[in-house]
Chain A
């Protein structure tokens, strides 16, 4: 009887085991199979090479150069002390430092650890010759980004570096992995998807201690696409030299098709230092510098345009039919409104529109502002592209602010006064623009109403990019713009014109100066925004000096720029 009970219990136990075997092996088999594959398969990523960046003439702006890294493979590392002593001697690095680096970076037996990056060629030879002594020593040939123009191209190109935490999160779905090199700011960031090489990798089988057992498969990494820019490296260099020692920005754009020939911002930085991991200190100095060398002032810096804004005000007043080109106002040196005197730079006497642009008479524009009204000024400023992004193909562009009645009441719950209109009409009072916006505005005026799209891309992988080759007509009468052109030309050609220094031989230059007051004790911003029609091409350009005092300084820089370009036969 009791034997029977024992028999039933035994049957029950075996049924339980069989049921569990079927559950684990058949029903959940797939899941466990997956886990076992994960156990043994490791993927070592191989970074693809980034594409080159060229300027419009095919000069290399961003290249890859060969670099040699020293790696130590943990698998098969027997004489650890000896190897590190040898490495320390050859590389002239402290042995403790090397060992520390190795210990920090080592994560698996099969993955070699980089202990020294980018070593000199003669050291490579020494190491290669002694490789047979140390089987786990590897000298790996790789590529590094290099920027031949260095500082002069940094704000257009940006730089590359290891992907950071923010971008890792943002780009996770686009196939970026933690070890990827990624572009930061400039073209490197904007066209990263094209420049980036396709990641390859080797799939290896490891055992429980992480030692490589065999190679399962290899996927060759691919090289990214080469990119051509509209940038002219000569212009880039001339512009950078012109801004040497200053703070500010220069933008040079082909006004017929919107191609950016040169774009600089000063102070600048050397993008090459981001490639070398050993220069961390210099990188943090860059980011902490109070004069913000990392800031691209040409597209991200927001400044009051000062008198440059008189151009849209004049256009507005003419286009709206409030004045004719012959409307004359008398300048007494100030304009009085509600008991406050709004000053002018000089006492100009009676001036018509052309003269007012040439001499930059504030009083004339106070009056225009009043008869036009803040709403209309805002409307025309927007029509000419201020207060909105230019959608240039560079990241982190700012849109700027055109103040008006509505913004004022919505944002600050304050009223708009006539005095605000006066400030606005000479480009002050909360108006903020980027140098690039002014260049585009100037190109529109110079083209008599045809607005172009600023861009830096010319071709990707040999295929021309045509997406930016479109033009838009602004809703402003052609005659109006032609009148304003005359006024801006007069500013250069008149002996008393504000930009007379730019009256060059064999070159049609026109433009508008600006001296924008800033808050506090600091010097004014100096502007010159204009266009030049040369034999080769017509350009619109902007010279901006942050706290550069008088606009005359900007004109001098512009002169240097134009002469330089003329000498290189770019114009």
Chain B
């Protein structure tokens, strides 16, 4: 049984990565806009990633419990450093360079947040609330402290600006909070407060972020500007029809109608060239991976493992659903990558590391 889950995770991950590499090859094929070397870059990343994943499966994951707070603190420092001296690209400061290798601390935050929240939540002992004082204490320790832990990196990432990742962190927090024993009324109370704050949040958005949200509501407002991407992406996916146009033959892809097709819009390339069959295969693989991961949470005995698993499942699900929904026009364009498939070292490796964690968890659950 335990071997089985680990094998499943290995299989699904490798299959998804391979599909991603095939799509990336097509997206960068004979093209000036997207250089071919990103394919080899990603291939290299994948090989390195699998090695990392294998070794992470061997390490005792409780070591990460010990390092969670330090990891988080370092990450916050990195985020601050990005804002101060990060590298500009595409109108945002997201990258920092260390020893010639550039990476995005915001991607790292996904992992560190899951770890620190898992560590924190697993430390809390369930208490029966009695009386006003203990209730207030509970709200403080079980809700406000983890919220603060989440909001600090959220704010720093939002400042980069990267609205998508910031909101994603909040999503992770909500799902993990949901997995604790906290009463529903506090969780939904928090959600209610957030919804009430949405109109105020509108004003702190940047103009292009507002555009994106408006365009999501009606892409035809600005078909050549902000709406162009989503229209072309929908055309690409839809025109794939059942069997697709064939590998390297997607016209939307090969003739450059799809912007950002090697990163955020890689799913459009798959939908166009492989049709509904290819798209459904990929989505099914994601579903099977997530489902298998969630089974780990059911079987892991210690709380840290459960919370980390739930966190990883949450981020995988959210990124897959939001990315696929985004390229099909179901969600606004928020700039979230498709796990294992989109080009991008930081994002790719972080997800591989998460899978390594899951492997680890699936193996060690019966030790106690």
Do A and B interact with each other, yes or no? yes
CB within 8 Å for A3 and B298 given contacts A18-B283, A21-B279:
yes
Judging by beta carbons under 8 Å apart, are B310 and A26 in contact? no
B residues in contact with A32, CB < 8 Å: 234-235, 237-239, 241
Number of interface residues of A (CB under 8 A): 34
Judging by beta carbons under 8 Å apart, are B256 and A33 in contact? no
In the bound assembly, the distance between CA atoms of A25 and B179 in angstroms comes to: 36
CB within 8 Å for A40 and B251 given contacts A6-B179, A6-B310:
yes
Q: Mark B226-247, 1 if CB is under 8 A from A, else 0.
A: 0000001011111111100000
B residues in contact with A33, CB < 8 Å: 238-239, 241
20 contacts between A and B (CB under 8 A): A2-B178, A3-B179, A3-B294, A3-B297, A14-B321, A16-B330, A17-B328, A18-B283, A21-B283, A25-B237, A26-B276, A33-B241, A36-B236, A37-B239, A39-B235, A40-B252, A40-B255, A205-B255, A207-B256, A208-B256
B residues in contact with A119, CB < 8 Å: none
B residues in contact with A208, CB < 8 Å: 255-257
In the bound assembly, the distance between CA atoms of A40 and B252 in angstroms comes to: 8
In the bound assembly, the distance between CA atoms of A207 and B250 in angstroms comes to: 12
CB within 8 Å for A10 and B294 given contacts A21-B328, A40-B251:
yes
- Cβ of B143 < 8 Å from any Cβ of A? no
Nearest-CB residue, chain B, relative to A9: B317
Known: A20-B330, A22-B280. 19 other contacts (CB 8 A): A3-B298, A3-B310, A5-B178, A6-B178, A10-B291, A10-B294, A10-B317, A14-B287, A17-B325, A17-B330, A24-B237, A29-B238, A29-B241, A32-B238, A35-B239, A36-B238, A36-B252, A39-B232, A208-B257
B residues in contact with A209, CB < 8 Å: 256
Within the complex, the shortest CB–CB distance from B90 to chain A, in Å, comes to 18
In this complex, the interface size class of chain B, counting residues with CB under 8 Å from chain A, is 35 or more
Within the complex, the shortest CB–CB distance from A257 to chain B, in Å, comes to 61
In the bound assembly, the distance between CA atoms of A205 and B256 in angstroms comes to: 12
Nearest-CB residue, chain B, relative to A25: B276
Judging by beta carbons under 8 Å apart, are B240 and A25 in contact? yes
Within the complex, the shortest CB–CB distance from A24 to chain B, in Å, comes to 5
In the bound assembly, the distance between CA atoms of A33 and B234 in angstroms comes to: 10
Residues of B within 8 A of A (CB): 175, 178-179, 232, 234-242, 251-252, 255-257, 271-272, 275-276, 279-280, 283, 286-287, 290-291, 294, 297-298, 306, 310, 313-314, 317, 321, 324-325, 328, 330
In the bound assembly, the distance between CA atoms of A10 and B179 in angstroms comes to: 14
Within 8 A of B (CB), among A103-127: none
Judging by beta carbons under 8 Å apart, are A206 and B234 in contact? no
Nearest-CB residue, chain A, relative to B282: A21
Within the complex, the shortest CB–CB distance from B154 to chain A, in Å, comes to 22
In the bound assembly, the distance between CA atoms of A36 and B280 in angstroms comes to: 21
In the bound assembly, the distance between CA atoms of A3 and B175 in angstroms comes to: 10
Within 8 A of B (CB), among A1-58: 2-3, 5-7, 10, 13-14, 16-18, 20-22, 24-26, 28-33, 35-37, 39-40
Within the complex, the shortest CB–CB distance from A463 to chain B, in Å, comes to 47
Judging by beta carbons under 8 Å apart, are B234 and A24 in contact? yes
In the bound assembly, the distance between CA atoms of A22 and B240 in angstroms comes to: 11
